[in-house]
Structure 1
Amino acid sequence: MVKANDVAAYILHRRGPMTAMKLQKLVYYSQAWHLVWEERPLFDEPIQAWANGPVVPELYARHRGKFRLNAEDALGGDRTVLDEAERGSVEAVLDAYADRSAHWLSELTHRETPWREARSRARLGDGERGSAVIEHAAMHEYYDGLTGADADAEDV
């Protein structure tokens, strides 16, 4: 299985420089949608519901202190290890979300159930630091539900 930093390396290679916050959100959405489309995790590292949205702590440790990242940053990832299905999931996420700002993506995650429920379970208030894990099952259920809503709307 690939690592979150492999996914990050792939994203940076495909889309170029971006803020660390935006990269974290794109890695999160890659995991979430891969869970829906392939019914398996893209990577094993946990995602936590931090104050500014979902964060992979292991990836954060690699870019800590850097605001803007590019493909040459030493995140320790190998973009070439993603298989066809993994690349397909990440590409679909990039098509849908990559043109959005880091702030927009962060605000979106704050409106979505997986981040909100993880924070609520841990009794974390607005802006409060915490390490509540966003569970794979919560991501799968929520984002899979979005595809059902889209499918129902198309049938009308």
Structure 2
Amino acid sequence: MAKKSLKYSAELIAKWFLAHNRQVMAEEDAEYISNLKLQKLLYYAQGVYYAMKNKVLFDDEIMAWKHGPVVEDVYHDYKSNGANGIKFEDEFDFSKIDGETTEVLEEVYDYFGQYSAWKLRNMTHNEEPWKKTEMNDEINVDLIKEYFLREYIE
């Protein structure tokens, strides 16, 4: 059974990815993150974090939608962008995320963020957590953890 996150919401983690991406864009050639890509980064962040730390990063449910894993509330926050990149202009206080968590998020961003939204979508479609879950149902977070322990965490 998943150990509850005491600190973070998926919304806060999503804002971290968007704010971090904004910083990266200022320093190098990078693109805005679309909602589709953001959803996949949240899924990978949850999986990597839970597998490494034995506790969930956020308590929000990850649902199995047509185009892969989705955190519904975060999806609705940014759906007005359509397939376009999200121009995140909010102030973000990076100190809201502790250093250990930031390290994991940076690793997720550096590894998975290099791929396009559609590449990430296709990757999730080939992964057990999404494949084993009925469409529009919650993906069991323990299934995500088990899969990430086997496939990503050595």
**TM-score between the two structures when normalised by the length of structure 1:** 0.81
2:29: which partner in 1?
Answer: none
Structure 2 residues not aligned, in runs of 5+: 1-6, 23-31
Answer yes or no: is 1:85 the counterpart of 2:97: no
Give per-residue Cα distances to partners, 1:104-136, cap 9 Å, x unaligned. 0000000000011112xxxx4xxxxxx211111
* Percent of matched pairs sharing the same residue: 29
Answer yes or no: is 1:142 the counterpart of 2:142: no
Q: Tell me the secondary structure at the aligned position of residue 69 of structure 2.
A: strand
Q: Distance in 2 between matches of 1:71 and 1:101?
A: 18
Instruction: Check the 8 A contact 1:32/1:140 in 2, yes or no.
Output: yes
Q: Tell me the secondary structure at the aligned position of residue 121 of structure 2.
A: helix
AA partner of residue 10 (structure 1): W
1:64: which partner in 2?
Answer: 79
Instruction: Check the 8 A contact 2:48/2:152 in 1, yes or no.
Output: no
Change (3 A) 1:19 1:112: same
**TM-score between the two structures when normalised by the length of structure 2:** 0.82
Selected match of 1:3 from 6, 9, 30: 9
Q: Distance in 2 between matches of 1:73 and 1:25?
A: 21
Instruction: Check the 8 A contact 1:6/1:78 in 2, yes or no.
Output: no
Q: How does 1:89-128 map to 2 (within 5 A)?
A: 89-119=104-134, 124=135
Instruction: Check the 8 A contact 1:4/1:56 in 2, yes or no.
Output: yes
